[in-house]
Amino acid sequence: MSRLGTIRLYDTKVLVWEETVEESIRSVYRSVLGRLRFRGFKLARDPNVSHLKSLWPFFHIGQKGPLELTAQTMGRCMEFAFFQSVRRPAKYPNTNGARYDFHEFSLFPRDLRLVCVLEICKLLEKLLEYGYELEPQLTEATPLARAVLNVLERPRSEEAPLADFNRRWQRDRFERGPDGWPTPKEYAHCGYDLDRDQVPIRSGDLCALRVNGRLFNGVAHPQMNSGWSVTCGGTTVHGTSRELFRCERPDLEPRRFFRDATDRLRRELVRELKLKNYARVSQMAAALARLEPPQAVAAE
């Protein structure tokens, strides 16, 4: 069967976007899974959807030696994302798991990078058999392996946020505003434009986002499908609209925040108080005050 759609490569993710909504994309997905099995990947149901039986046929995880992947299809999209957790550097911990790391390719050891490039090329060749077209950046060099390697090794910092967005979504895909970004008509639906406090977000707004506990406060731009980016000091981080919030005084926010930070600080404060380390107690009390603003005392 001949397909009409585009193949994109972002980090170590191979994404396929169909131009028409058809049930037959699921048969393509099953066929690609068959090719992955033929190449030695052991596939299983994604544990993230173990409680949703209706999604079992469309979400998978796989492993071939130290190289791992997630595969899924929903609507007009297919996504195959490669990662590795066995030989992952200890200095890049992600409490949610290696599959949620950013810039996965840079965390691979050199030999595994070569394996990853090979498997991505074989996956692209399978998709090309169906008639899908490669995005322009994958046709800039030959052979295909060189084009893939160029994309994977391209530093994200070299691209401005809008250039990166256009590279992935194409310049003529959405209605654009004077700043070049999609207009609210394109992303303000299904609550995808509401932040953590249910306040509408517009492209160019100043918003904050925490990634691995670290606070980023910068300019927000839509990435479509509830995704948003925040650019701060030349660094761009990504999250969903519900993770963004307004932060008028970032200097009063803790530089790093963890879910159990308050309890940990309390325990440390008690310990330092017993040791009569009053300078340290003062510093920790100030940090605790930032995490727990004092409650207003009700008038008696």
Residues 44 and 171 in one domain: no
Residues 128 and 181 in one domain: no
Residues 148 and 16 in one domain: yes
Q: Render 29-52 in DSSP notation, one character per residue.
A: HHHHHHHHHHTT-EEEE-GGGTT-
Please choose, from the candidates 28, 23, 30, the residue with its C-alpha nearest in 3D space to the C-alpha of residue 57: 30
Number of separate domains in the chain: 3
Query: CB-hemisphere CA count at 13 Å for 267?
Result: 5
Out of 11-25, 176-190, 235-249, pick the least confident. 11-25
Asked, for residue 37, whether it belongs to a domain, the answer is: yes
Confidence band, pLDDT 50/70/90 cuts, at residue 296: very low
Residues 32 and 123 in one domain: yes
Structural domain range at position 268: 261-291
Q: Does this model's pTM top 0.85?
A: no
Asked, for residue 241, whether it belongs to a domain, the answer is: yes
Residues 120 and 169 in one domain: no
- Residue 234 sits in a domain whose CATH number is 2.30.30
Asked, for residue 300, whether it belongs to a domain, the answer is: no
Asked, for residue 298, whether it belongs to a domain, the answer is: no
Residues 101 and 19 in one domain: yes
Give the pLDDT confidence of 139-183 residue by residue, as tens digits.
877 788 888 888 887 765 556 788 888 877 777 888 998 888 999
Residues 31 and 166 in one domain: no
Residues 179 and 238 in one domain: yes
Asked, for residue 296, whether it belongs to a domain, the answer is: no
What mean pLDDT do residues 225-229 have?
88
Asked, for residue 299, whether it belongs to a domain, the answer is: no
Residues 179 and 102 in one domain: no
Contacts of 207 (CB under 8 A, 6+ apart): 195, 201, 217, 218, 219, 220, 228, 230, 244, 245, 246, 247
Give the pLDDT confidence of 43-94 residue by residue, as tens digits.
999 998 988 898 999 999 999 999 999 999 988 889 999 998 876 666 555 6
Residues 132 and 170 in one domain: no
Give the pLDDT confidence of 239-278 residue by residue, as tens digits.
899 999 998 877 777 666 555 667 777 888 888 888 888 8
Residues 190 and 267 in one domain: no
Residue at a domain's end among 97, 124, 154: 154
Asked, for residue 297, whether it belongs to a domain, the answer is: no
